[in-house]
Amino acid sequence: MPKKRRNNGRNKMHKGHSDPVHCENCKRLVPKDKAVKRFLIKNMVDQSSKRDIEEASVYPKDEYSMPRLFIKNQYCVSCGIHARIVRVRSNENRRIRYISNFREGTEEASHGLYKRANQRSKKPNEK
C-alpha cells in the first residue's frame, strides 16, 4: 500500500517509543514527535498599556524591557488542522519540510526544500 508520508507523520528516528504529551487544546495524548509544536513569544500587556507603563516607570526605557511570555504550545494533529496551524497540503508540497528560524539563511534553507515555521502570510495591503 502506498504511504502518505515517508515518516508516517512522525519524527521517531528509530526510537521505538516516544513520550506522550497532552494537546494544549483538547488534552488528547499525542506522541511528542508527532505533536504540532509552536513556540510563542508575546508581550504580557498590549501595546498601548505598555507605553503607559513605560512612561510612568522610573527606569529608563532602553535599560529596562518589559517581561514577555514564552509559551511552547503542543497540539494534536486534529487541533492543528482545526485551528489552521497546519494545513492539508498537496502531494508535492508535503515534501517541503519546516525549519526553525535559527537555520534560516543557511545553505539548506536556500534550496527551497524547507519552509520557515510560524511564518505569517502577508496580507496584500501590507508592504
Residues contributing to the site for Zn ion (CB under 5 A)? 23, 25-26, 28, 76, 79
Supply 23's cell numbers: 494537546
What's the closest the beta carbon of residue 29 comes to Zn ion, in angstroms? 10
Distance, CA of 68 to CA of 85 (rounded, Å): 22
Comparing CB distances to Zn ion, the nearer of 22 and 103 is 22
What's the closest the beta carbon of residue 100 comes to Zn ion, in angstroms? 22
* Backbone φ and ψ of 101, nearest 5°: -60, -35
Plot region of 70 (φ>0 → left; ψ -120 to 50 → alpha; else → beta): beta
What's the closest the beta carbon of residue 65 comes to Zn ion, in angstroms? 34
Comparing CB distances to Zn ion, the nearer of 12 and 28 is 28
Comparing CB distances to Zn ion, the nearer of 21 and 23 is 23
Please, which residues have CB within 8 angstroms of residue 48's CB and are 6 or more apart in sequence? none
